[in-house]
C-alpha cells in the first residue's frame, strides 16, 4: 500500500488557502487535518469540524506525549495539530492537507521534514490589501497588522517546496491538484526498491 503525503498549505491570511484546501479535498480522497484547541467552541462551531475542543490538562498531556506536529499559544488558549490522525491517514494511503500559518509550518517542518510545503500568495501586495478590506472584518489597524504579518511571512518563502500565486482560484486549485498528483509519482527509495525487485524476480 502506497503511503499518502502530508501537504502543508500556508501563506498570508487573504491568500485563499482555505478555499483551495476545501476545493482540493472535494476533488480528491485527501483528508484535512483538524486542530485541537483549549478555547471554548463558538456557537456555530461543531466538535471535529473547525476544531476538537479539549481541556488544558488534555492538551498538556498531549504535549508531554510528543503528540503534536506543532502547537502554539494564542493569548490564553492553546492550539495544536495532533500527530496521530495525520500518521494514520498517511499509512492508510491518503494525502493530508494541513492549512496553517508560517510559524506553524516551520514547526511542522522541524518535526516532519518529509512534508511537502506549499506557499499560497496573492498576486500582489496591493491585491492582498484589497482582499483584506473586502472581507470587512478588520478595522484600519487590523488591516495594517495583517499586511505587516504578510510581509514577515513572505520572508519564509525559501523554506517552501512550491509557490502558488493565487490570481484566479480555479487555476490555483488546478495547480494544487497538479502538485498532489506529481508528488504521488515522486520516486522514493521504497518505490524504487519494490520496482527493482519486481524486475529482478518476475518471469519476463
Interacting residue ranges for its own copies, rule: CB under 8 A? 119, 121, 124-126, 128-129, 147, 150-151, 154-155, 157-158, 160-164, 174-175, 177-179, 181-183, 185-187, 189, 191-192, 195-196, 198-200, 202-204
Least CB distance to its own copies at residue 96 (A)? 18
By beta-carbon proximity to its own copies, the closer residue of 55 and 198 is 198
By beta-carbon proximity to its own copies, the closer residue of 92 and 196 is 196
Residues whose CB is less than 8 angstroms from the CB of residue 62 and which lie 6 or more positions away in sequence, other chains included: 36, 54, 68, 80, 82
By beta-carbon proximity to its own copies, the closer residue of 65 and 197 is 197
Cβ-based neighbour number of residue 167 at 10 Å = 13
Least CB distance to its own copies at residue 70 (A)? 20
Q: Classify the C-alpha dihedral 82-122-106-42 as positive or negative.
A: negative
By beta-carbon proximity to its own copies, the closer residue of 84 and 103 is 103
Backbone angles phi, psi at 25, to 5 degrees: -60, -40
Q: Classify the C-alpha dihedral 167-168-171-175 as positive or negative.
A: positive
Picking from 122, 99, 45, the residue whose alpha carbon sits closest to that of residue 132 is 122
Least CB distance to its own copies at residue 81 (A)? 22
Q: Is 61 in contact with 80 (CB distance < 8 Å)?
A: no
Give the containing element (helix H, strand E) for 193. helix 189-201
Least CB distance to its own copies at residue 121 (A)? 7
Least CB distance to its own copies at residue 147 (A)? 5
By beta-carbon proximity to its own copies, the closer residue of 34 and 143 is 143
Q: Is 33 in contact with 86 (CB distance < 8 Å)?
A: yes
Amino acid at each position: 500500500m502506497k503511503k499518502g503525503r502530508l501537504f502543508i498549505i500556508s501563506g498570508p491570511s487573504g491568500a485563499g488557502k482555505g478555499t483551495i484546501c476545501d476545493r482540493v479535498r472535494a476533488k480528491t480522497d485527501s483528508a484535512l487535518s483538524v486542530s485541537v484547541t483549549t478555547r471554548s467552541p463558538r456557537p456555530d462551531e461543531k466538535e471535529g469540524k473547525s476544531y476538537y475542543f479539549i481541556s488544558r490538562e488534555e492538551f498538556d498531556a498531549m504535549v508531554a506525549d510528543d503528540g503534536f506536529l506543532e502547537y502554539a499559544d494564542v493569548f490564553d488558549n492553546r492550539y495544536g495539530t495532533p500527530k496521530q490522525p495525520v500518521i494514520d491517514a498517511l499509512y492508510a494511503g491518503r494525502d493530508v492537507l494541513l492549512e496553517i500559518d508560517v510559524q506553524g509550518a516551520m514547526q511542522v517542518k522541524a518535526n516532519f521534514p518529509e512534508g511537502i510545503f506549499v506557499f499560497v500568495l496573492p498576486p500582489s501586495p496591493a491585491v492582498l490589501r484589497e482582499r483584506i478590506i473586502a472581507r470587512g472584518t478588520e478595522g484600519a489597524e487590523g488591516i495594517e497588522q495583517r499586511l505587516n504579518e504578510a510581509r514577515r511571512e513572505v520572508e519564509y518563502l525559501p523554506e517552501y517546496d512550491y509557490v502558488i500565486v493565487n490570481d484566479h482560484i480555479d487555476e490555483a486549485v488546478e495547480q494544487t491538484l497538479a502538485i498532489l498528483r506529481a508528488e504521488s509519482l515522486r520516486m522514493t527509495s521504497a518505490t524504487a526498491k519494490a520496482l527493482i525487485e519486481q524486475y529482478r524476480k518476475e518471469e519476463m
